[in-house]
Structure 1
Amino acid sequence: MGKNIAKSTITFEFCDGGSCRKAKSEIAVREARAHLRNEGFWDSTHTIRTRCNGRCEDAPTWIVQPGNFWYKNVTPEKAIEIVASHTNENTPIDEYLLYKDGWDEIDSDNERTIKPVMFKQKNDSEFGEVLVARAPASDQYLYPLFKKLFEAPEGLKILLPNSEEQYVFSSHNVNYTDTFDVNINGAETNFTLAIGPITKAMENDVSEEIKSRKVGVVEVIWNQENDDYIAHVRLKNRKGKFLLLISIPLGDAYSWEYILETYLNMDSNKPKIVTTLEQ
């Protein structure tokens, strides 16, 4: 508190996400901060704990600025070396780096292959033989999806758990300022779903009501034989309970292209399809 960051020339960003904490990141942070204070660099540097930076497989991770130096597998011993190198010599330690500006590829010791989302032929209990893609359920995907679908809808059909159907033609407000809940509110529909992350450490402090409406499963259903709706987005909670169905009209090419290209990260002209039928 109260640090004059105008005097700081180096910033150390310590990832404090779940995987990094599990990998004992706090011990390395303590060593780094102790070294900076005892060696007289406290006022000329700044240290920050951040949320997850997306490289859990390389935990614990740090980012050092300026220079965009990403460090991997930071142990307490490496922490002191890294801090000393940047403060004394203004240079990174390349052998500990995951990435730095100018590299074409990252240097991970535990790289994970990203499994692409694919449509699979399935005999769905509600829609029959259709193509179904298991889609991302994170708020980083769902909030943008809701904003895009409800900013200029062209006849979305909403099916609620009580079997009520609602049709949306006008712009609706999408509000995600709550810790967990996103609310879609307008003249034609109003519903609330929990999309914010609930970690294992938080489970006991989150009400059952919130957990019951927490989106845990999202399926994009491509119905090529339907004359009215080209696709549906079906949301369920983590126990498989139905929460909501959003149906995309056949003529709404804009929303369908967004779902394929941005939400599912596919080429809309060549969607990934597995042809083996699943029951």
Structure 2
Amino acid sequence: MGKNISKVNTTFQFCDGGSCQKAKGEIAIREARAYLRNKKFWDTTHTIKTRCNGRCEDAPTWIVQPGNFWYKNLTPDKAVSILKSHLEKDLPVEEYLLYKEGWSMLTSNNEKTVAPVVFNSKIDPELGEVLIARSFASDQHLYPLFKYLFQEPRPIAIQQYDHKIIEITSPHQVDYTDLYEVVITGKEVDLQLAIAGIPKDISEEIADRKVSIAEVIWLKKTTIFTKAIRLKNKKGKHLVTLWIKEKDTSTWEHILTVYLAMSPNNIRINNEV
């Protein structure tokens, strides 16, 4: 029988992503769950192991609800004191907090500065003089992008491997129910790419079509297709290029704002070759 969540008034979300596992977050989780059972809080609380919550530099991390309290650098001792404070006093432990509602800043000692995506001038062996931005190759970025480009569809064209360019004129199904691979099927295209993280012992066939490099390309010459997203595997093998028409400003603006987090009115360009 499942837990009666109608009795739950406090939820603890324990990050169980890779960095939190490496930081021995599981030990703090065990102590927390033991405390909740022994102190008879089990029925009125709920504990959930989550995937990565995006704060790897502060691992191990927890989130306590209600209140949206984020905790950092958890240890078994900190874990128990946090539980006691929330459940017995209804108060957070301020000194262990990473963030709480109302704060304008995080209290991280390990904050990482992520460099913004920039277009760089390059002489590409295939395309000549171009601007290239190294972009994001994770499934969190590629799957939404594929849905946006293929399901409506957008007026794009696709070039698989070294094959000819095919224009997309009809909606395509974008299926990401497989553990690793997304499958795009329709009238014009059948495309299968691995976009999730893959284990080292995966088959060579899947590893060969694993997207590891994503580039947004802006041709300096005038032609029908002047922008593109080029995807390659770890060895640099070309998997697919998605071409965008010069006149299709809507798709280009979406890629800039959503995919690259860049304003169309303030495109970051480094002109040094």
Distance across 2 between alignment mates of 1:155 and 1:39? 61
In 2, distance between residues paired with 1:48 and 1:222?
44
Count of residues paired in the alignment: 273
List structure 1 segments (4+ residues) > 4 angstroms apart after TM superposition: none
Amino acid at match of 2:91: T
Q: Distance in 1 between matches of 2:143 and 2:89?
A: 44
> How many Å separate the matches in 2 of 1:212 and 1:252?
32
What 5-or-longer segments of structure 2 have no aligned partner? none
Give the deviation of 1:154 after TM superposition.
Answer: 4.9
Q: Which of 251, 256, 260 is 1:255 aligned to? A: 251
Q: Distance in 1 between matches of 2:221 and 2:101?
A: 49
The CA deviation string for residues 127-162 of structure 1, in whole angstroms up to 9 with x for no partner, is 111100000001111011111111334542211114
Larger mean Cα displacement after TM superposition, 38-47 or 149-158? 149-158
Counterpart in the other structure of 1:229:
225
Matching residue of 1:203: 200
What's the counterpart of residue 245 of structure 1? 241
C-alpha offsets along residues 71-100 of structure 1, whole Å, 9 cap, x if unaligned? 000011101100111111111001100001
Q: CA deviation digits over 1:198-238, x for unaligned, max 9?
A: 2xxx322x222111111000011101313211201110012
| Partner AA of 2:106 in structure 1 | I
Is 1:106 matched with 2:106? Answer: yes
C-alpha separation in 1, matches of 2:163 and 2:184:
18
For residues 147 and 153 of structure 1, what CA distance do their matches in structure 2 show? Answer: 9
Q: Who is 2:17 aligned against?
A: 17
Tell me how large the CA RMSD over aligned residues is.
1.2
The answer to whether residue 43 in structure 2 is matched with residue 43 in structure 1 is yes
Contact (CA 8 Å) 1:248, 1:256: kept in 2 or not?
yes
Task: Choose which of 239, 259, 267 in structure 2 pairs with 1:271.
Answer: 267
Question: Separation in 2 of the partners of 1:56 and 1:239?
Answer: 27
| 1:154-193 mapped onto 2 (5 Å cutoff) | 154-193=154-193
Q: Which moved more, 1:154-163 or 1:29-38?
A: 154-163
* Corresponding letter in the other structure for 1:49: K
Relative to structure 1, the CA distance from residue 276 to residue 162 in structure 2 (aligned partners, 3 Å threshold; closer, same or farther) is closer
Q: Which residue in 2 is equivalent to 1:213?
A: 209
Deviations 1:23-68 (A, max 9, x none): 0000000111111111111111111100000000000000001110
Normalising by structure 1, report the TM-score.
0.95
